[in-house]
Structure 1
Amino acid sequence: MENEDDYYYYNGNETFEAHENPYRVHQIVLEFFLLVLIIVGNVAVLIVIISEGKRSRMNFYIKNLAVADLLCGVFYVIPRIVFHFNNGFFGGNILCKIQEYLKNFGIYGSNTIMVAVSIDRLFLLLAPMGSLVARGKRPLVVCTLCWLLAAVISISGPIVFSYDGEVCTLNLSRDEITIYFTIIFVGVFVIPTLIIMGCYFTIAFIIWKVSHSSKGRQESNVLNPPQHSSLSNNSQTDSDFGSTITKAKMKTIKMTFVIAIAFVVCWSPYMIVNILNVYGYMMTTNEFFGIFIGSLLPLNSVVNPLIYAAFSVRVCRQFRSKLRRKLSASRSSRRTENVCL
């Protein structure tokens, strides 16, 4: 790699100049399509949750995740569309820094909330009574901290990016770019992935252990019915813990697990290709490959609403029936008004 233009920069701009991109129109169409899906999907999630009127900690987290995905779509995808539509960036240095801050804010907000949801699901199993007591306050405090952390970390964008007269790009040397992206790779991808996977592996182990011990105790009780009150109490405790897992709503655990898997699947290619590229282990000038890799990050914001819809069929049906009733009532009132006139 002879110059800095060989890097797939983290800001999402490809390694080639805009006027040299033979896939410019295709990329604009693709990213506009992704933008529409992000906005429609996440706005729909917010409307469904708000109209449901159910105040639960999971709904609160999903609403914050939907807002983060919306920010990612607006501040990550739209600047890319404008960049390729105009064959460059003409906003000046101030707008460049504002753009990078807002872009990072949406991405980091989504990541931190994803980690918070995973920890919350684990906490729900380890301390179910504590989670019930803190149901009203904890999600608000956690999400506030997530957004504050994202706001602070996002300051790195305006610091390292600047306008060079043609594009908004990293104002760093080759070695500094390597250090910068290594920090991004570890802090934004590796650490969140390890925390998320660690939480769900622990959740899976707890569920397996409880179900295994409950099954073994049932078989033991059939052969040797408990005679002492202490044994009965232990059995009752395990039964209560097993019912707690049921009350923790396995469906939400499965849903957040699938969301976490989608995060890893969408982010892994982009981050791995970039870290290999900056260390010189993978050099490519294929424009189509750059388009594909750069489009994977917003794809995560497209997939999350689809996962929510797949795991919330009943809620979506109720929303559709409620919407039909409102439309029917509106038509009926209009007909009545026309008859009166």
Structure 2
Amino acid sequence: MNVSMDQLNALLRHSLHNQDTAANLSEPITSWVINKDNMSANGSVAVKRDEKLVILEITILSVIFILIVFGNCCVLVAIQLHKSKANRMYYFLQHLSISDTITALFNVLPQLIWEITYRFNGGNVLCKVIKYLQIFGPYLSSYVLVMTAIDRYQVICNPLSNCGWTPSRSKLMIKIAWIVSLMCCSPQLYIFSYQEIPGNPGVYDCWVNKYPKVKISTFPKPWGERIYVTWYAISVFIIPFMILTVTHYHICREIWLNLHKKRKSFRLNKNRDNVSMKAMKQNELDSDSVNSSQTNSANVLVSVGKSFRFKGRGKLEVSLDKDFGDDFSPRTHSIHGLSRAKIKTVKITVVVILCYIMCSTPFICVQLWAYWVPTAQQSHIWNDYRELNRKSTTII
């Protein structure tokens, strides 16, 4: 049967349009290669994949899976080996590693198998379970990170309330993170199903319910997809990002103010010590009348904190290893310790927020752009970069 190129292109665009989805946040976007020889007798289009691209995808997913599992297993083993010294930060870190492991096992691994088999072959129940668990890992990672930030905020900014902190409170925070994540994933159970692909008789896959012709459409047009994509962006990225920003801002501010108070207190102590030294020098001049036979006696200065004790008789003598100059600091170790803590906290804050932004922003922005801009999905940018967009989702 002869089919014109215009008809072929129209059929291809229709097929691609039916398979694009907002809610399938880790859905395989297939690379299509169409040839005239791939036309069947009834005029349907036989679709093939770019095998070189498939091999590259499988290789990348395999490497990501191995790195995630190996790295997080090392962290979990290290925490278990230091269980006797574990504190609540270890507890939060443990659950953060567990959430990353869940992402590897239920997001990356199913996606890897899906790339190998090309079509989903697990049936309707497994389709819904996989789609549910594929976004559970990212949700859990986000909210465990939020609970960790809240815990650090309590420790640094509210130290008095921290005195009454119990292990059960940390467990409650982690339970809240798990419950919120499980609830946020629940729409996936309704949105996806194992169904026949329109235009491909006998071909089934795990797709979003959006085909009005077969009466299984999930999203009301045109705002249904926009609402779900916006909801996902707010719940998995925007809300956690705002909480992380606020808590880490207050943490850095508190450490900065604490350091400023320490330095101010040190300057006051330094001035007080300088006054004491002047009085001691005056006492030294007044003691010149003491009998010279006693001048060879041992004269020892013992410094304890802010007080001075003198041993020996005769002329008073103050011997210092270092003058009270600008570089002298009787409590240098504490001030330097605070300075290191401040710098470390600032670095951690910057790293956490930047990594969160870099890993999540590209995918979230592309999804919002694709479903809020009417002409976005017809643009060459969407068609050229949606495969890269899917890869970024898997890495997240």
Question: TM-score scaled to structure 1, two decimals?
Answer: 0.74
Could you list the runs of 5+ residues in structure 2 that have no partner in the other structure? 1-12, 33-46, 197-203, 210-217, 276-333
1:217 deviates by 3.3
Q: Which residue of 1 aligns with 2:248?
A: 200
Confirm whether residue 46 of structure 1 aligns to residue 76 of structure 2: yes
The structure with the larger Rg is: 2
| 1:111–1:101 distance in 2 versus 1, CA, 3 Å | same
Distance in 2 between the 1:141 and 1:247 partners?
32
Aligned partner of 2:234 in structure 1 is 186
Query: What does residue 130 of structure 1 align with?
Result: 161
Query: Contact (CA 8 Å) 1:124, 1:248: kept in 2 or not?
Result: no
Q: Does 1:169 align with 2:217?
A: no
Once the two structures are superposed, the pairs formed by residues 1-341 of structure 1 within 5 Å of their partners are 3-7=17-21, 9-16=23-30, 20-22=48-50, 23-53=53-83, 54-165=85-196, 166-171=204-209, 172-173=218-219, 174-223=222-271, 254-255=347-348, 258-280=351-373, 282-283=376-377, 284=380, 289-300=385-396
Which moved further from structure 2: 104-113 or 160-169? 160-169
Question: 1:170 is matched by which residue type in structure 2?
Answer: V
Q: Relative to structure 2, which stretch is displaced further, 243-252 or 216-225?
A: 243-252
Seen in structure 2, the aligned counterparts of structure 1 residues 208 and 93 have a Cα distance that, compared at 3 Å, is: same
User: Aligned-pair distance for 1:259?
Assistant: 3.6
Q: 1:4 to 1:222 in 2, by over 3 A?
A: farther
What is the distance in 1 between the residues matched to 2:349 and 2:168? Answer: 21
Change (3 A) 1:78 1:181: same
Whole-Å separation in 2 of the counterparts to 1:131 and 1:21? 57
Aligned-residue offset at 1:12: 0.9
Corresponding letter in the other structure for 2:264: G
Q: Which has the higher contact order (CA 8 A, sep 6+)?
A: 1
Aligned pair in 2 of structure 1 residues 26, 247: CA closer, same or farther (>3 Å)? closer
Kindly provide the CA deviation profile for residues 57-105 of structure 1, in whole angstroms up to 9, marking residues without a partner as x. 1110011010100001111111211211111112222111111122222
Structure 1 stretches lacking a partner, 5+ long = 228-240, 301-341
Count of aligned pairs = 289
Kindly tell me: are residues 245 and 123 of structure 1, through their superposed partners in 2, closer, same or farther at Cα, counting changes over 3 Å? farther
Instruction: Quote the RMSD (CA, aligned, Å).
Output: 3.3
Query: How far apart, CA to CA, are the structure 2 residues paired with 1:252 and 1:42?
Result: 23
2:314 maps to which residue?
none
Q: 1:206 to 1:282 in 2, by over 3 A?
A: farther
Rounded Cα–Cα distance in structure 2 between residues aligned with 1:60 and 1:48: 12
Letter paired with 2:386: G
In 2, distance between residues paired with 1:78 and 1:148?
24
> In 1, Cα distance between the equivalents of 2:129 and 2:167?
34
State the distance in 2 between where 1:85 and 1:68 align.
25
Q: 1:170 to 1:126 in 2, by over 3 A?
A: same
- Name whichever structure is richer in helix by fraction: 1
Change (3 A) 1:109 1:180: same
Structure 1 residues 291 and 52 mapped into 2: Cα distance closer, same or farther (>3 Å)? farther
Q: In the TM superposition, what whole-angstrom CA distance separates every residue of 1:261-318 from its partner, at most 9, and x where no partner exists? A: 3222111111111111111264446777334322334434xxxxxxxxxxxxxxxxxx
Q: Would the aligned equivalents of 2:154 and 2:162 in 1 still touch at CA under 8 Å? A: yes
The 8 Å contact of residues 102 and 137 in structure 2, kept in 1 or not, is answered as yes
Q: Which whole-Å CA distance do the structure 1 matches of 2:338 and 2:144 have between them?
A: 23
Question: Could you list the per-position Cα deviations for residues 150-207 of structure 1 after superposition, in whole angstroms to 9, with x for gaps in the alignment?
Answer: 1222211112122222332222335311110111111111111111111111111111
Secondary structure in 1 matching 2:207: strand
Residues 8 and 123 (structure 1), Cα distance of their counterparts in 2 relative to 1, 3 Å cut: same
Q: CA deviation at 1:251?
A: 5.2
Moved more, 291-300 or 97-106: 291-300
Q: 1:286–1:254: structure 2 CA closer, same or farther, 3 Å change rule?
A: same
Q: State the Cα distance separating 1:248 from its structure 2 match.
A: 8.4
